[in-house]
Structure formats: C-alpha cells, structure tokens
Amino acid sequence: MDIIFIDDLRVSTLIGIYPREKAMPQNIELSLQIGTSTASAGASDDIRDTIDYAVVVDRLRSELETRHFNLLERLAEYVATLLLEDFGATWVRVSIAKLGMMRGVRRVGVVIERGAP
C-alpha cells in the first residue's frame, strides 16, 4: 500500500459544544494519510489514476465550512468516511487539532485510523 499525505491543512469550521463554539467558526488543523495504490499513476503519469490531493483539499474546505460538529471525534469519523467512500482510499489516518483552545496548550486533538469495509 502506498500513502498520499496532506499535512497541516488549515480549515475553518464550527466545532465544539460550548455556545461560543457553535456561533463562531474556528480554525482547525488536519493531517491526512490516505492509503491507496499509486502503481497505475506511477506508470501512466496521469492524475486520473490516483487520488488527487487538490480535489481532496477543495472538497474538505467546501464540506467543513458548512457543517457543525460537537466533537473532534465525530469530525474525524466524517473525514475518514469521506476519504474511504468518496475517494476510494483503502486506509486512512486522520489527525485533527484545535489550535490555542486552552491556556498553555498549543494544540488539542484526535487521531484515528480506519480501513475500507
């Protein structure tokens, strides 16, 4: 298995359980590892034979700016499912962090791994 990765993608979304978090979008940071075979793309040199990371980034930005999630865990599941079902990944690792949420803490977050059913 090969891995396509996207590191430190910043996206604005509504995330959280507190009233201020439900009213004001926050910047989150996503890092993704997307398991797939890149053999066809390596042979053909054709973007249609792989997962296009630019399309993944555009889709995530579009989806997340219009949604609200209470928990990072739910957001991570949403992203993992999107990558597995809509982009055909065979395995994903999704890392999501809120930035500057607590005094003296730079980032808080969650990391999950999921495989295709």
Residues annotated catalytic, as ranges: 98
- Look at residues 32, 53, 15, 54 and name the one whose alpha carbon lies nearest to residue 112: 32
Q: Pinpoint the alpha helices (H) of 12-86.
A: 19-23, 39-44, 53-64, 72-86
- How many Å apart are CA 33 and CA 79, to the nearest integer? 11
Cβ pair 85, 97 in contact under 8 A: no
